Amino acid sequence: MSSTQLRALIDVAETHADGHVHVTARANLQVRGFRSSRGGLHPDALTALESTGLLPARTHELVRNIMVSPQTGLSGGRADLRAVAAELDRLLCADQRLAELPGRFLFVLDDGRGDLRDRSCDLGLVVLDDEVAQLRVGDGWGPVVQLAGAPGRIIDLAHEFLRVRGEGPTARWHVVELDRALVEPSLEDPRLPRATGPLPYGAVAGGQHVPVASGGLDRGDVEDLICHSSEVVVTPWRGVLVPQEVPHG
């Protein structure tokens, strides 16, 4: 996200909520403590949230759960997954049927460095080289696919999940709970990376990984983060990665 968006979000938190931006273990940002209006969010608060540019689809906000290797495109990895993640999000938001996915349904994209290989997910991929990746389907493996077509393949599997999950109170919430496989299981590709574990805090390749306290970011924290970079990356280890700006000229 851009530094401008993070500043706008703390503005919203101070004006309409508890004054903090919280970071979760699913690489989500949360603003908590909104005052209710007739049992829902006050229209002024919703307008302010949408003005940040972080709420592209009201109908799909609960299902836009896409976790990506935080350093992708900054340093290391086998491929830059920023465009893949953006296309997956675009396809997800453009499909009205997929708004029916459970709110805890999670997509996980590992750029081949192994940082998210062990992260449980419903659907996702791990990059094998700069052109192909192996799909993740629940706790198993799917086929090897071209990176360029991977978002579409993942969306197809999400549709299949909705088709077979059932209805009503017995409907399944996650792929691992299904009675049948979404796709013919595949063996692990030998090119898969080993799991590398969480990104440490402090100076890392591509920037600085800053931990976020349980109380979230306040105005001072946000200003400290964004004074160093024009963008920040929320990580799934309750942190914020501040990319190292490359000087021009």
pLDDT in tens, 5-26: 999 999 999 999 999 999 999 8
Q: Which domain holds residue 84?
A: 72-177
Q: Determine the Cα–Cα distance for residues 193 and 167; give it in Å rounded to an integer.
A: 37
Summarize the confidence of residues 31-46 as an average pLDDT: 88
Q: Tokens representing 36?
A: 């209710």
pLDDT of residue 17: 94
Q: Is residue 184 part of a domain?
A: no
Residues 24 and 88 grouped into a single domain = no
Answer whether residue 104 shows pLDDT above 70: yes
Buried-exposed string 93-117: b where 16+ CB fall within 10 A, e elsewhere: bebeebeebbeebbbbbbbbbbbbb
Same domain for 88 and 26: no
Asked whether residue 190 is assigned to any structural domain, the reply reads no
Residue 187, in any domain of the structure: no
Asked whether residue 39 carries a pLDDT value surpassing 90, the answer given is no
Mean pLDDT confidence for 84-97: 96
Rounded distance, CA 125 to CA 121, Å?
A: 10
Rounded distance between C-alpha atoms, residue 127 and residue 118, angstroms: 14
Mean pLDDT, residues 39-47:
89
Which pLDDT band, with edges at 50, 70 and 90, does 197 fall under? confident
The stretch 37-46 carries a mean pLDDT of: 87
Q: Which residue has the tokens 């309750």?
A: 238
> Does 46 lie in the same domain as 77?
no
**Residue 17 within any structural domain of the chain:** yes
Burial-class residue 146 by CB neighbours within 10 Å (0-12, 13-18, 19+): exposed
pLDDT band at 246 (very low <50, low <70, confident <90, very high): low
Q: Give the mean pLDDT of the chain.
A: 94
For the cut 90, the answer to whether the pLDDT of residue 228 exceeds it is no
Whether residue 127 is found in the same domain as residue 43: no
Residue 152 domain flag: yes
Which residues have C-beta within 8 Å of that of residue 23, sequence separation ≥ 6?
29, 30, 212, 216, 217, 234, 238, 239, 240
Worst-scoring range by mean pLDDT, 100-114, 157-171, 182-196, 234-248?
234-248
The bridge status of strand 66-68 relative to strand 40-41 is unpaired
Q: How many domains does the chain have?
A: 2
What CATH number does the domain containing 119 carry? Answer: 3.30.413.10
